């Protein structure tokens, strides 16, 4: 799971992203080989798909990343395949979509929910890059845990799996939901689009349901409420 996850960071500094995400994966695989590990599970990413041609995105869609971060995850998946072929290490890649939840850092890539929440609680404008119509498939962290644990014991036919809710949410809808749950008076501030961002993203989730026995249990509204409660408690703790 250890990785540099920022798309914008990877564009600014592709060498660090490659070193941590690709060479780091190779280090894990070499150690797994030495220890005769039975299985390695990689936390991959929907970023490997790049700009999707069809929606929802299925696992057999083209792998065509548009950022160094996505390229690093695609390369890590290829290393998994090569070690499985040459060394017999059972290897699975879980392509996480947009993960969120308590304790999330406010990074520019994965942390739009934590960024919006912190700004809403501070009555600061919620900055939306573009017109807000871009969509993402958000999945709560406890569902990610369930999927990852399920992947340890499953005996699937395939090696790559989308781990997502299968539901499409616009960034504008997300911002308004956070305004509603927090009761914030924060305004919406629209900013120029960012490089490396795609317009729409939502996953096809049948494979994970059938082969890993995984389905999400947490709705976006429930997940947002839980996340916001944690950030509010953190604010109170720091203020005490």
Give the residue numbers marked as catalytic.
69
For residue 71, which of 2, 128, 15, 113 has the smallest C-alpha distance? 15
- Rounded distance between C-alpha atoms, residue 10 and residue 145, angstroms: 26
Q: Are 22 and 60 in contact (CB under 8 A)?
A: no
Using DSSP, state whether 3 is helix, strand or coil.
coil
Q: Which of the 8 DSSP states describes residue 57?
A: B
Positions of E strands within the chain:
39-45, 90-96, 98-100, 126-129, 135-136, 138-140, 160-163, 169-170, 188-191
Q: What would the two tokens of residue 72 be? A: 């690093």
């Amino acid at each position: 799971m250890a990785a540099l996850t920022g798309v914008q960071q990877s564009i600014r500094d592709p060498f660090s992203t490659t070193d941590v995400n690709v060479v780091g994966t190779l280090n894990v695989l070499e150690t797994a080989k030495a220890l005769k590990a039975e299985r390695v599970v990689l936390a991959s990413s929907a970023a490997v798909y790049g700009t999707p041609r069809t929606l929802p995105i299925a696992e057999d869609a083209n792998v065509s990343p548009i950022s160094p971060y996505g390229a690093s995850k695609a390369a890590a998946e290829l290393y998994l395949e090569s070690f499985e072929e040459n060394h017999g290490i059972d290897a699975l890649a879980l392509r996480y979509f947009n993960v969120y939840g308590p304790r999330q850092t406010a990074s520019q890539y994965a942390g739009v929910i934590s960024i919006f929440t912190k700004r809403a609680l501070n009555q600061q404008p919620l900055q939306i890059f573009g017109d807000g119509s871009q969509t993402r498939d958000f999945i709560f962290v406890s569902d990610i845990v369930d999927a990852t644990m399920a992947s340890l014991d499953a005996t699937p036919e395939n090696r790559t799996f989308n781990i997502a809710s299968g539901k499409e949410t616009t960034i504008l809808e997300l911002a308004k939901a956070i305004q509603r749950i927090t009761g914030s008076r924060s305004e919406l501030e629209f900013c120029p689009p960012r490089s490396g961002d795609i317009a729409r993203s939502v996953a096809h989730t049948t494979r994970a349901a059938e082969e890993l026995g995984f389905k999400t249990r947490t709705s976006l509204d429930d997940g947002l409420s839980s996340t916001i409660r944690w950030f509010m408690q953190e604010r109170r703790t720091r203020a005490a």
